[in-house]
Structure 1
Amino acid sequence: MYQTKTCKAIVSLGVASVIGVSLLGSSLPVQAKLTGIEPGVVPKVGGKGGPGGRSPGGSRVPDCLGENHLYSLSPRDGVTVAMYPTFLVHVPPTKARQGRFSLKNKSNQIVYKADFALKSNAINSVSLPVDASPALIMGKRYEWTFSVVCSAESPDQNPSFNGWITKTELAPSLASQIAQAPFAQRLILYINAGLWYDALLTAAELRRTRPDDSIVGTTWSDLLKAVGLKEVAGAPLF
């Protein structure tokens, strides 16, 4: 199984519904400009917490990605407030039609595994289902793996991205701040709190529900470019 490189960039994001804040139902305006999401303003934190980066691309054995890369929007090692988080990985053009996702606990036991229809040249999302996966346990660290099934017979040769996620909770004061903040400032609060998983999903859900909204599209694009993911900023999201 291919290993991946950690991208030195920025920290983590958050799903508002987990803390009782519905972004889509909020009366707070979506701002056209992501105030504070600019180079030199966003806190730069290499290693833990930041976006996952990309897989090496290419290999010593033929695979269905050629020299292309998998880009993980989700962190290589981060935290989330979600009990059932969502993971986002960009898959380049490929003839492969199947993806595979697995989640392991610290004892290397698989707690969730699923195959799914892969979307080529797009950002693929995989969510832990409430009815088929145990909730993440507070303070526990899990390893996740997203694979492109090039060969069902040789799974160890399939290109993949793996990362780690730990369940945490928001301090009451931060939860209150997020509940009252405009959209752009919520993202800043999530990022400063090291919650890339959650804030990214919040922005992604808004983009899915308002695909023709130019302000939402600009917000999404600016956010990904700010964290070093401009290569996938214009990709469709599934």
Structure 2
Amino acid sequence: MKVAFFTVVMLVLLPHYAIAQGVGGTRVNQLPTPPDTGTSDDPRTPGGTRTPAKACKQTEKPLTALVPENGKGLTTAEHPVFWFYIPYASDDIHSIEFSLHNREDMATLYRTSLQLSKTPGVMGIPLPPSPENSLKLNESYHWRLMVNCDHKESSENILELDGWVTRVQPTINSVIWYDELTNRAKHYLSEPQNPEVKTAWAELLKSVGLEGIAQEPLVSSVSNPKKE
């Protein structure tokens, strides 16, 4: 246990560029550019014309994707976990859907309707461990999270986030964003009262400008009752 924790602490000390640049000669800024969706300057939160002022419950902090500032992240996993801060309880919204698509948005690898818990917080959406849902090495994928705040399926009632994930080879020289985020989330869930584990979690989020989310509760992974 001490050895594992030492690894986590040491990773906190790695420079910010190690997370931002990626690995194996692949820089994050060389990955596909997300399409212009009319969102705010920060692609991790809803914004622009897609902000529903009336349908969604007003919250202190917005729906947020836990990804680097440009909305792009790397993973070595075939089946990574996607993390979001969801400021709503199950009774606050009508439905929420996560989907993952190939780079050209011509094929859908995974689509699921999610069941939220009664407690708002940071939640993980795991990609199912099946061959048809596997990420291929050195390929980029486009994910979307859509929250419908009302039973009427109108664009005025929907909050939408989207971003990119690319699977790369493992390396010892850089922190791989999705892998490290999931690793620290698991530590936090297993030792929620450990101040050092809390600090490691907060430092990782701070490294990409998400320090405002660091104190929000970690509610584990959401359940996936319906796969489409």
| TM-score using structure 1 length | 0.67
1:87 and 1:197 in contact (8 A); partners too: yes
Equivalent residue for 1:159?
A: 159
What is the aligned length?
192
2:46 and 2:62 in contact (8 A); partners too: yes
Alpha-carbon distance in structure 2 between the residues aligned to 1:38 and 1:167: 24
CA separation of 1:45 and 1:135: change in aligned 2, threshold 3 A: closer
SS of equivalent residue, structure 2 residue 85: strand
| TM-score using structure 2 length | 0.70
Equivalent residue for 1:232?
A: 213
1:99 and 1:147 in contact (8 A); partners too: yes
2:52 and 2:159 in contact (8 A); partners too: no
Residue 79 of structure 2 aligns to which amino acid in structure 1? Y
- Whether 1:130 and 2:111 are equivalent positions in the alignment is no
Q: Which runs of 5+ in 1 are unaligned?
A: 1-25, 178-188
1:80 and 1:166 in contact (8 A); partners too: yes
Task: Return the match for 1:72 from 65, 77, 90.
Answer: 65
1:34 and 1:223 in contact (8 A); partners too: no
Higher relative contact order (CA 8 A, sep 6+): 1
- Whether 1:88 and 2:83 are equivalent positions in the alignment is yes
1:87 and 1:125 in contact (8 A); partners too: yes
CA separation of 1:124 and 1:98: change in aligned 2, threshold 3 A: farther
Report sequence identity in percent. 23
Equivalent residue for 1:116?
A: 114
**1:102-113 maps to which residues of 2 (within 5 A)?**
102-108=99-105, 109-113=107-111
Deviates more, 1:80-89 or 1:129-138: 129-138
Q: For residues 93-147 of structure 1, what are the alpha-carbon distances to aligned partners after superposition, in whole Å with 9 as ceiling and x for unaligned?
A: 4612642100111342222100111245301210111148521112222110112
- Whether 1:42 and 2:16 are equivalent positions in the alignment is yes
Alpha-carbon distance in structure 1 between the residues aligned to 2:3 and 2:13: 22
Alpha-carbon distance in structure 2 between the residues aligned to 1:130 and 1:98: 24
Equivalent residue for 2:38?
A: none
Alpha-carbon distance in structure 2 between the residues aligned to 1:60 and 1:54: 13
Q: Which runs of 5+ in 2 are unaligned?
A: 22-27, 32-41, 221-228
Alpha-carbon distance in structure 2 between the residues aligned to 1:36 and 1:27: 14
1:141 and 1:165 in contact (8 A); partners too: yes
2:74 and 2:168 in contact (8 A); partners too: yes
- Whether 1:55 and 2:46 are equivalent positions in the alignment is yes
